[in-house]
Amino acid sequence: MPNTIGLESSLLVRALRGEATERAPLWLMRQAGRYLPEYREVRAKHSMLDVIRTPELAAKVTLQPIDRFGFDGAIIFADILNPLIGMGIQLDFVEGEGPVIFNPVQTPSDVDQLKVPSPKENVPYTLEALRLVVKELSPRGVPTLGFSGAPFTLATYLLSKKGDKELAKRFMRDNQSAWAALQKKLTTLVSDYLVAQAEAGASAVQIFDSWVGVLSPSEFATFVLPWLQQVVASVKSRTKVPVIYFATSAGGLLAQFPSIGADVYGIDWRLTFAAARQTFGNKPLQGNLDPTILLGDKSYLEKETRRILAEGKEGGPFIFNLGHGILPPTPIANVETLVSLVKTFCLG
């Protein structure tokens, strides 16, 4: 296991563990990506899947935003979807279209066919990339995060060619025992993957549940929450790393989120920190700048960043992030503005 002791005193790990910090630690979802010219250079020569499956390349692009901006944490370069390949799913990231699944699950017997490989068989390249990144960043005091898609969000991709949420909802209602079997498989896949990333040196893990907001509160309670609880309980029983749960457009589900049992909650810009604090108390919160604000006017960006910094620090630890992934047309200069504002704002 890599030596990660020095990382425990980093701003990000302290905030994730619930300690007060002198300023808000900062990282951005999708911080390694197409807004960076050095990332585009790598992608010009290698496909998305090749970058993910080649540990040296995945490590290289993971480090790019750390070297350029000095973010307080790295997130290992992969996608929520590539672990589905080992289940028997054929997928590709198609230029201009995003991910495409060529053989989506359509029937209960398709669910039976899905394999649940161990992370070592399924994604050895991501675990190796993590070890490489942690080796590089530990001496620099920068923690690295692992991640996985949540069972529901992964199911929306498994069940359709292009992540069609309506199909997932219909399958869930009309094939309830097959849905449970599918969630059970995904729960094992996701828990084992997060644990393996912690063992490879990740300082924390984030569960991305980007599409869960399409559900009603009662459907979330019935079809999704029990599996999320199992994922978090399993990870927490096997590792010591903090677990972050991130969802978007999910205000209607907020009241149920504390029972997921995560250590930290990521919120988007549709929620205020004040509302989130009412629900989560003094747990660490992460968010929530609208990534489209990074596309535009600098003075508006500064104003909104200062507002979030002021609101975020009330009532508990706070990690500055976006409310969703950074967008490809984001100007580098705006990211620089954001970084310098967050790094000079004292929480005191």
Residues that bind ligand CP3 (CB under 6 A): 29-34, 43, 48, 75, 77-81, 93, 98-99, 147, 208, 210, 324-325
Which residue out of 53, 72, 79, 245 is catalytically annotated? 79
Find out whether 140 and 216 touch, Cβ atoms under 8 Å. Answer: no
Which residue out of 14, 23, 43, 131 is catalytically annotated? 43
Find out whether 147 and 82 touch, Cβ atoms under 8 Å. Answer: no
Taking the CA atoms of 86, 88, 93 and 97 in sequence, report the sign of the dihedral they define: negative
Helix (H/G/I), strand (E/B), else coil: 207: strand
Nearer to ligand CP3 by Cβ, of 111 and 150: the residue is 150
CB 61, min distance to ligand CP3, A: 8
CB 182, min distance to ligand CP3, A: 18
CB 314, min distance to ligand CP3, A: 27
For residue 277, CA distances in Å to 236, 249, 258, 329 come to 23, 17, 11, 32
The verdict on whether 14 is a catalytic residue reads no
The verdict on whether 67 is a catalytic residue reads no
Nearer to ligand CP3 by Cβ, of 48 and 295: the residue is 48
Which residue out of 34, 68, 140, 238 is catalytically annotated? 34
What tokens were used for 191? 């828990």
The values of phi and psi at residue 113, to 5°, are: -75, -20
For residue 39, CA distances in Å to 45, 94, 111, 163, 268 come to 10, 17, 36, 25, 25
CB 108, min distance to ligand CP3, A: 25
What lies within 8 Å, CB to CB, of 133 at 6+ separation is 59, 62, 63, 74, 76, 144, 201
Nearer to ligand CP3 by Cβ, of 81 and 289: the residue is 81
Nearer to ligand CP3 by Cβ, of 149 and 316: the residue is 149
Nearer to ligand CP3 by Cβ, of 22 and 95: the residue is 95
Find out whether 204 and 16 touch, Cβ atoms under 8 Å. Answer: yes
Helix (H/G/I), strand (E/B), else coil: 154: helix
Nearer to ligand CP3 by Cβ, of 206 and 230: the residue is 206
Which residue out of 39, 157, 193, 245 is catalytically annotated? 157
Reference 286, options 335, 343, 324; nearest CA is 324
The verdict on whether 131 is a catalytic residue reads no
Which residue out of 23, 30, 53, 131 is catalytically annotated? 30
Q: Angle 225-238/176-199 helices, nearest 10 degrees?
A: 20
CB 79, min distance to ligand CP3, A: 4
What tokens were used for 127? 């675990």
The verdict on whether 79 is a catalytic residue reads yes
CB 25, min distance to ligand CP3, A: 15
The verdict on whether 34 is a catalytic residue reads yes
Measured between alpha carbons, how far is 87 from 146 in angstroms, rounded to an integer? 20
Which residues are known to be catalytic?
30, 34, 43, 79, 157
